[in-house]
Amino acid sequence: MLKLGVNVDHVATLREARYRGREEGEPDPVAAALVCEDAGAYGITAHLREDRRHMQDRDIWRLRERIKTRLNLEMANSPEIVGIALKLKPDIVCLVPERRQEVTTEGGLDAAGNLTALTDTRKRMNDAGIEVSLFIAPDPAQIEASARIGSQIIELHTGAYAESFGSAVKRDAELERLIAGAKQAHNLSLKVNAGHGLNYQNLPLLHRVPHLVELNIGHSIVSRAVMAGLGNAVKEMLALMETYGG
């Protein structure tokens, strides 16, 4: 069955809009994570950015202490964050590109252009008992590089698919890229996750992509929660995932 990892970053974004710089505030992303777990989420995803624009260090440590499923830490391959991850010991780290100017993560990681640095971090994480995922575009060279780096998982960047969803021609072209990427990764013995821009409208068509293990979804679920409540939003997304055949 296709698994759901809920990204709680946007809960922290809402809190930081009012309580930035304070030790407490609402809504609490850790409390939100527990609601998501109770509603059936397989795991919790959080991105500790270098500029701490949403999740704070205290959030990450409390998530590690409180959640009962598994923690996927999204992170840049920077010395500070690598050091935190090695102490935190999340179940998985997902290495992503990161720029201070961006609103959200733009594009996939350049695994092919950073083989040495990413391989070093992958080894350090694996030695600490942490699985490694690379957030990459469905590009053959990047998928091949991910296998060479030795990552256990790739997360296919679905942003181009989501952004082109209103155009059948562009959408279908992006869908074919995802299908080909998933097949290539599976043949290289990589687990295949996907995420970015997925929502209640574009997710059903993604079922055409084979070998998917997990979807990581945040903004759409948090947005839906404003109207339906967080637990209901998670359950509605899970219902859309039930018919995935793999």
Backbone angles phi and psi of 5, in degrees to 5: -105, 125
Eight-state DSSP code of residue 56 = -
Catalytic residues: 47, 74, 196
Question: Closest Cα to residue 192, out of 232, 237, 129, 244?
Answer: 244
User: Helices 57-66 and 29-38: crossing angle, nearest 10°?
Assistant: 30
Residues contacting 160, CB < 8 A, separation 6+: 137, 174, 177
User: Measured in whole angstroms, how far is the alpha carbon of residue 205 from the centre of its chain?
Assistant: 19
Amino acid at site 126: N
Q: Which residue, chain included where needed, has tokens 């992958």?
A: 122
Q: Which H/E stretch holds residue 156?
A: strand 153-157
Amino acid at site 182: A
Residues paired with 192 in a beta bridge: 154, 212
| Measured distance CA(241)–CA(143) in Å, rounded | 25
